Amino acid sequence: MNIQLSDHFNYKRLLCFSMPSIVMMIFTSVYGVVDGFFVSNFVGKTPFAAVNFIMPFLMILGSVGFMFGAGGSALVAKTLGEGKHEKANQYFSMLIYVSIISGIVIMCVSLLLLRPIAKLMGAEGAMLDDCVLYGRIILTVLPALILQYAFQNFFITAEKPQLGLVVSIAAGATNIIGDALFVAVFRWGLAGAAAATALGQVVGGLLPLIYFVRPNTSLLHLTKTQYDGNVLLKTCTNGSSELMSNISISLVSMLYNIQLMKYAGENGVAAYGVLMYVNMIFLAAFIGYSNGTAPVVSYHYGAGNYAEMKSLLKKSFMIIGIFSVSMFVIAEVMAMPLSKIFVGYDRELLELTARAFAIYSFSFLFSGIAIYGSAFFTALNDGLISALISFLRTLLFQVVAVLLLPIILGIDGIWISVVAAEIVAAMVTILFLIGKRAKYHY
Do the domain assignments include residue 6? Answer: no
Q: Is the pLDDT of residue 81 over 90?
A: no
Number of independent structural domains in the chain: 1
Closest CA to 230 of 77, 66, 71, 105: 71
Q: Which residue has the higher pLDDT, 8 or 327?
A: 327
Residue 1 pLDDT > 70: no
CA–CA dist 396, 410 (Å, integer): 20
Q: Is residue 212 part of a domain?
A: yes
pLDDT in tens, 282-322: 888 998 999 889 989 999 998 889 999 999 999 999 999 99
Count of Cβ atoms closer than 10 Å to residue 13 Cβ: 15
Sign of CA dihedral 294, 295, 298, 300: negative
> Largest Cα–Cα distance in the chain?
61
Residue 431 banded pLDDT, cuts 50, 70, 90? very high
Mean residue pLDDT across the chain: 89
Strands, DSSP E only, in 35-177? none
Q: pTM of the entire structure?
A: 0.74
Beta carbons of 96 and 235 less than 8 angstroms apart: no
Closest CA to 4 of 155, 159, 164: 159
Q: Please indicate, yes or no, if residue 396 is contained in any of the structural domains.
A: yes
- Angle separating helix axes 142-157 and 161-179, nearest 10 degrees: 150
Helix (H) or strand (E) holding 103: helix 85-121
Burial class of 186 by CB neighbour count within 10 A (0 to 12, 13 to 18, 19+): exposed
420-432 burial code (b ≥16 CB/10 A, e <16): bbbbbbbebbeeb
Task: Calculate the CA dihedral of residues 301, 302, 306, 308 and round it to 10 degrees.
Answer: -70
The helices-and-strands tally (H runs, E runs) of the chain is 17, 0
Phi and psi at residue 45, to the nearest 5°: -70, -40
At 372, give phi and psi (nearest 5°). -70, -40
Q: How large is the average pLDDT for residues 160-173?
A: 90
Q: What is the mean pLDDT of residues 115-132?
A: 90
CA distance 267 to 345: 13
Tally the residues of the chain.
Answer: 442
Burial (CB < 10 A; 0-12, 13-18, 19+), residue 61, is buried
Residues 362-384 have pLDDT tens digits of: 999 999 999 999 999 988 988 88
> Is it the case that residue 31 has pLDDT exceeding 70?
no
Residue 124 pLDDT: 85
Task: Say which residue, 251 or 144, is predicted with more confidence.
Answer: 144
% the chain with pLDDT above 70:
99
pLDDT at 281: 82
Whether 260 is covered by a domain: the verdict is yes
Taking alpha carbons only, the member of 401, 405, 312, 320 closest to residue 364 is: 320
Task: Evaluate if residue 172 carries a pLDDT over 90.
Answer: no
Asked if residue 1 is part of any domain, the answer here is no
Helices 64-81/85-121 angle, 10° precision:
160
Tell me which amino acid residue 50 is. Answer: A
Q: Where are the beta strands (DSSP E) in 30-86?
A: none
Residue 245 has pLDDT above 80, yes or no: no
**Which band of pLDDT confidence, cut at 50, 70 and 90, is reported for residue 32?**
low
Asked whether the beta carbons of 419 and 113 are under 8 A apart, the reply is no
Give me the percent of the chain exceeding a pLDDT of 90: 52
Contact 441, 290 (CB under 8 A): no
CA pair distance 156, 19, nearest whole angstrom: 11
Please tell me the predicted confidence (pLDDT) of residue 115.
Answer: 96
Supply the pLDDT for residue 21.
Answer: 84
Query: What is the pLDDT confidence band of residue 430, given thresholds at 50, 70 and 90?
Result: very high
**49 pLDDT exceeds 70?**
yes
User: In a 10 Å sphere around its CB, with 0-12 CB exposed, 13-18 middle and 19+ buried, how is residue 209 labelled?
Assistant: middle
Query: Does position 27 have pLDDT exceeding 90, yes or no?
Result: no
Structural domain contains residue 413: yes
**Does the pLDDT of residue 244 top 80, yes or no?**
no
Q: Is residue 4 part of a domain?
A: no
Range of the domain at 301: 11-440
- Output the pLDDT for position 193: 93
User: Does residue 5 lie in a domain region?
Assistant: no
CB burial of residue 400 (10 Å; 0-12, 13-18, 19+): middle
Q: With residue 289 as reference, give the H or E element that holds it.
A: helix 265-303
pLDDT average, residue stretch 64-70: 91
pLDDT computed for residue 411 by the predictor: 85
**Tally of CB atoms within 10 A around 117:** 15
* pLDDT bracket for residue 29 (50, 70, 90): confident
Average pLDDT rounded to a whole number, residues 44-63: 85
What's the average model confidence in pLDDT over 128-136? 95
- For residue 184, the 8-state DSSP code is I
Q: Using CA atoms, how far apart are residues 357 and 353, in angstroms rounded to an integer?
A: 6
pLDDT for res 209: 97
Per-residue DSSP letter, 214: S
Distance CA 57, CA 53 (A): 8
* Cα separation, 435 vs 364, whole angstroms: 25
Predicted pLDDT of residue 313: 94
For residue 261, pLDDT beyond 80: no
Angle at 250 between CA 247 and CA 252, to 5 degrees: 105
